[in-house]
Structure 1
Amino acid sequence: MIGYLKGKIISAKPTQIVLDVNNVGYLIHISISTFEKISDQSEISLYIHTHVREDALNLYGFYTEAEKEMFELLISISGIGPKVALSILSGISVDELQNAIQIENVSRLVSVPGVGRKTAERVVLELKSKVGFIETTTSKGIDFTIKQEAVLALTTLGYNQKVAEKIVRDLLSSNPALSLEELIKKSLTELNK
């Protein structure tokens, strides 16, 4: 089984890439969050999950080991296959998903495209005791509770969740020391441009 690949990107789309590893091109399915992290790079390393079925052998690539572990937990649930798991990881970060499962925030999971209420409840029920073992590292030490509070404030004001998440993430990556109040004010300025 393939567990890790390092090579040059031959072609990249938001949901899949072709990676040249020693002159062999591997087609790898990726989440949108992984795509965002690798889109400006030409040579990358990915953690790989090899999924074998009777009629196919598919590779799923992840920028972080935590994302790969969450993917494997998701596909261990009956009724959730690799495509749905990738869809979930494309719609919510690993940290937020872990937090939503731990605090049983079913409505946050339902807000992810492709996830219905029953699926969200099953994810919470089956993974609540397991997600605590996934070690996630936040990029540049960003406090994800501030991020979540800011996104919640913006969605309460009626803004689209995905748009709010992107703006908050961008603002925090450029200035991780922002207070919650400053973050919300700057986000509102960006949203109202």
Structure 2
Amino acid sequence: MFEYIKGVIDDLTPTSVVVETSGIGYFLNISLNTYSKLSGQKEAQLYLHQVVREDAHLFFGFFDANERGVFRHLISVSGVGANTARMMLSSLTPSEIQTAIISSDVKTLQGVKGIGAKSAQRIIIELKDKLGKDTDISDFSLPQNNTTKAEALSALVMLGFAKNSVTKVIDKIFTANLDASVEDLIKLALKQL
């Protein structure tokens, strides 16, 4: 099992990063929380989680071990896969997820695309005791970055949303929030898609 990777950031998008170390570029799937922490940095150390499937070996990278811990808790729930967990960590901070689970806030979890009432309830039932004991999960603050609608659109399309519907939602949000960062645009769009 891989624990972390340390190297030069070769390419960074809101959904992925390529970290070069020892002449090899590793493609890592990331959340918006990790993206916001990496923005503007040249080098990084990311904690890894590897998903081995029949057709692929995928790496998920996390700026902080606590975010990886929340991710691992989420994927331990039946019906929650790695991409759904990443979507949750892109829509909510790890501490918001923990708070929602501990306080049985189904509505907050349902605000994430792909999480219905039954899934939200299952996540709460299976993780409430585990996350209640996990005191190391800390809040992530998102810095304000000067980004564009195009980056937000690209990230949402890469997450699997239809380009036409994403374009309409992003345009509407951007018109109302001209100073919004790419993270803010994506989070607001995820709530409307």
> How does the TM-score come out when normalised to structure 2?
0.70
* Residue-by-residue CA offset, 1:126-160 (whole Å, 9 max, x unaligned): 100111233123469xxxxxxxxxxxxxxxxxxx9
CA RMSD of aligned residues (A): 2.2
Question: What's 2:80 paired with?
Answer: 80
1:139–1:33 CA distance, 2 compared to 1 (3 A)? closer
Question: What's 1:105 paired with?
Answer: 105
Higher relative contact order (CA 8 A, sep 6+): 2
Q: How many residues align?
A: 146
Deviating runs (4+, > 4 A) in structure 1? none
Question: What's 2:45 paired with?
Answer: 45
Q: Which amino acid aligns with 1:84?
A: T
Question: What's 1:93 paired with?
Answer: 93
Structure 2 Cα separation of the partners of residues 9 and 125 of structure 1: 38
Mapped contact 1:45–1:63 kept (Cα < 8 A): yes
Counterpart secondary structure, 1:128: helix
Q: Which amino acid aligns with 1:2?
A: F
Q: Which amino acid aligns with 1:137?
A: S
Unaligned runs of 5+ in 1: 141-159, 171-193
Unaligned runs of 5+ in 2: 142-172, 185-193
Alignment of 1:33-72 (within 5 A): 33-72=33-72
Structure 2 Cα separation of the partners of residues 21 and 133 of structure 1: 36
Mapped contact 1:15–1:32 kept (Cα < 8 A): yes
* Identity fraction in percent: 39
* Residue-by-residue CA offset, 1:163-191 (whole Å, 9 max, x unaligned): 8xx89xx9xxxxxxxxxxxxxxxxxxxxx
Q: Which amino acid aligns with 1:52?
A: V
Who wins on radius of gyration, i.e. which is larger?
1
